[in-house]
Amino acid sequence: MPVEKKFIPKKGIDIEEGSYIGLFAGLIHLGIQRNEYQGEVSYKDQVLLKFELPDILLEDGRPIIITKRETNSGGAKSNMLKLVKALSNSSDITNGVDYEELVGKPLMLDIKHSAKGSAKISGYMPVPKHLKAGIKPLMNEPVLLFDVEHISDKELETMPEWLRELINKRVQDEGNVEEGANY
């Protein structure tokens, strides 16, 4: 049985915890990002994943977009491998992953609330076969930027300011971790 569509106001988006059908809507390579957790500093190559939730619509009829930052890793326990498995039902990434082929494919997103109360993606799962039939295609244009070191000014201009700032804060190389890219 499909999820009943919900219309919610743009401000104060409140997504209840649970599992939702999502469509993989894009991937943006963020480069090496400085992370701090419980006083420990680390540097990780990261991507920003973008998903449409077709069953939760804004007042104007557009679907909610939810994003998640992930470490760009193909390790056996990595979240990127779990994403690929949920989208393609395959965990074989020995020949790499063509994310363009995965754009628009459905998956189940497990949504939890953070300590601050905002909705966060906590897991990826394949869509059960009985739910696949009624899933609509992507409504928004996908964004796929794999090489952040060669991003064009035109591509940067199309991004929200918070995302441009995040990309500009990336570390140019691991030997110079204190300095951002500063476009």
Query: pLDDT digit string (tens) for 131-141?
Result: 888 888 888 88
Of the pLDDT bands very low, low, confident and very high (cuts 50, 70, 90), residue 10 is very low
Q: Is 70 exceeded by the pLDDT of residue 91?
A: no
pLDDT at 129 over 90: no
pLDDT above 90 covers a percentage of the chain that reads 23
Measured CA distances, 83 to 20, 73, 89, 108, 140 (Å): 14, 11, 10, 10, 20
Instruction: Give the tokens for residue 60.
Output: 């104007």
pLDDT at 22 over 90: yes
